[in-house]
Amino acid sequence: MHLMNIPAWNNNTDEAVCIAELKLGLIAESCLNPGFSTMIANIFAMRSDTESSPSRFIWLQEYLRGASLEMYTETLSNYFVHDLKNFSEAARFCLVELDILLFAIEVCEENGQRRLAINPDRTSKYYRIAKRTRGFFLAGSSEEASR
């Protein structure tokens, strides 16, 4: 393998990313989940929506507001574990009560490994919220995400 010939290469900490494989993976994910590629592009672009104009179409205002949000991670509180219990209830609570979007969770398994679940459904073993679960949020600020 050519990577092993690089003097500073460390098998434990370095990773190689195949851009073509990443692109094809994003295309495949977009086929399964319409709008996924737009969401990922907006997360990486990090636009700001400072201009508020009443002459804009409503859909454009909503799109620009969503495109201006940033991604944050926070450990979910015990309220999510005991009262909300599953991803759907947690996502609904975040959107309706906190005006932020919970779109994924990272669960710590019993063996210590962490697993990422993007919008898990009822059939996923990661659907239920457990202790030490981290949430991935789209929010306007870190303060909003940490509420």
DSSP H helical ranges for 6-145: 19-32, 36-45, 58-67, 78-79, 87-93, 142-145
The band of 97, judged by pLDDT with boundaries at 50, 70 and 90, is very high
pTM over 0.75: no
Neighbouring CB atoms inside 10 A of 102's CB total: 24
Statement: residue 144 has pLDDT above 80: yes
Strand partners, 89: none
Q: How far apart are CA 105 and CA 94, in angstroms?
A: 13
pLDDT band, residue 46 (cuts 50/70/90)? low
Instruction: Provide the pLDDT for residue 109.
Output: 83
Q: What pLDDT score was predicted for residue 100?
A: 94
Go through the domains of the chain in sequence order and give each one's CATH number.
1-68 (no CATH), 69-147 (3.30.70.1450)
> pLDDT of 74-96, one tens digit each?
999 999 988 888 999 999 999 99
Backbone torsions φ then ψ of 70, nearest 5 degrees: -120, 160
Q: What is the mean pLDDT of residues 30-47?
A: 81
Task: State the amino acid at position 8 in one-letter form.
Answer: A
